[in-house]
Amino acid sequence: MPPALGLAVALAVLLPTACARRSQDLHCGACRALVDELEWEIAQVDPRKTIQMGSFRINPDGSQSVVEVPYARSEAHLTELLERVCEKMKEYGEKVDPSTHRKSYVRVISHDGTKMDLSGVKIDGDVASSLKFACESIAEEYEDELIEFLSHEADNVKDRLCSKRTDLCDHALHIPHDEL
């Protein structure tokens, strides 16, 4: 077999796997970053702030079926957050694990202004725009699931949503463990 043909065959076999893994890493990273950003935004809301929910119609007995719920985890607040949270993806960079070559996404600008270790982190517009696009598609496709999980104070929302409910991070469950 001519060397050029061998190279073409090798690329044809390996390229789809590399592209699929890049896409999977990107969507998993976007999902995890999305949940992190939503949880951070929720934590910034004054816990005493409430919103009235229910019907504003008057019942036959003259009463109204209105209840006050905490604003931070209300559907109205979460829906508002989902509309703008993906803008935060421009504050993320890409980090490649040297042993597995898997990509993960980390904040490059801290929420509180503290200095961050950015060694090995790639920061560029292509990374940010790809992450933002993936975030927007996840937020749109899984809006109901995000609101369901975040409207209650749940543990491990990232794992429950990104791995178990959506399979966006299912590759993380199949990574071989060297220590076993």
pLDDT tens track for 44-54: 999 899 888 77
> Domain range holding 32?
23-58+72-165
Measured in whole angstroms, how far is the alpha carbon of residue 161 from the centre of its chain?
Answer: 9
**Residue 101: enclosing H or E segment and its boundaries?**
none
Residue 164 has pLDDT above 80, yes or no: yes
The pTM score is 0.77
Residue 136 has pLDDT above 60, yes or no: yes
Residue 144 has pLDDT above 50, yes or no: yes
Residue 50 inside a domain? The answer is: yes
Single out the residue of 76, 77, 16 nearest to residue 43, CA to CA.
77
Report the DSSP beta bridge partners of residue 28.
none
What distance in Å separates the CA atoms of residue 30 and residue 129, rounded to the nearest whole number? Answer: 11
**Res. 10 pLDDT band, cuts 50 70 90:** very low
Residue ranges of alpha helices (H) inside the chain are 3-43, 75-84, 125-141, 143-150, 157-159
What pLDDT, on a 0 to 100 scale, did the predictor assign at position 40? 95
Q: Which residue has the higher pLDDT, 111 or 2?
A: 111
Written as six digits, the tokens of 15 are 């390229």
Residue 2 inside a domain? The answer is: no
Residue 138 inside a domain? The answer is: yes
**Res. 69 pLDDT band, cuts 50 70 90:** confident
Residue 103 inside a domain? The answer is: yes
Q: Which residue has the higher pLDDT, 179 or 90?
A: 90
What pLDDT, on a 0 to 100 scale, did the predictor assign at position 21? 59
Asked whether the beta carbons of 69 and 117 are under 8 A apart, the reply is no
Residue 16 inside a domain? The answer is: no
**Res. 178 pLDDT band, cuts 50 70 90:** very low
Domain count, the chain: 1
Residue 136 inside a domain? The answer is: yes
Residue 40 inside a domain? The answer is: yes
Written as six digits, the tokens of 132 are 């933002």
What burial class does residue 14 get, using C-beta atoms within 10 Å of its C-beta: 0-12 exposed, 13-18 middle, 19+ buried?
A: exposed
Q: Out of 21-35, 58-72, 75-89, 154-168, pick the least confident.
A: 58-72
**Residue 124: enclosing H or E segment and its boundaries?**
none
Residue 86 has pLDDT above 80, yes or no: yes
Asked whether the beta carbons of 24 and 166 are under 8 A apart, the reply is no
**Is residue 18 helix, strand or coil?**
helix
The upper half-sphere exposure of residue 44, i.e. CA atoms within 13 Å in the direction of its Cβ, equals: 11
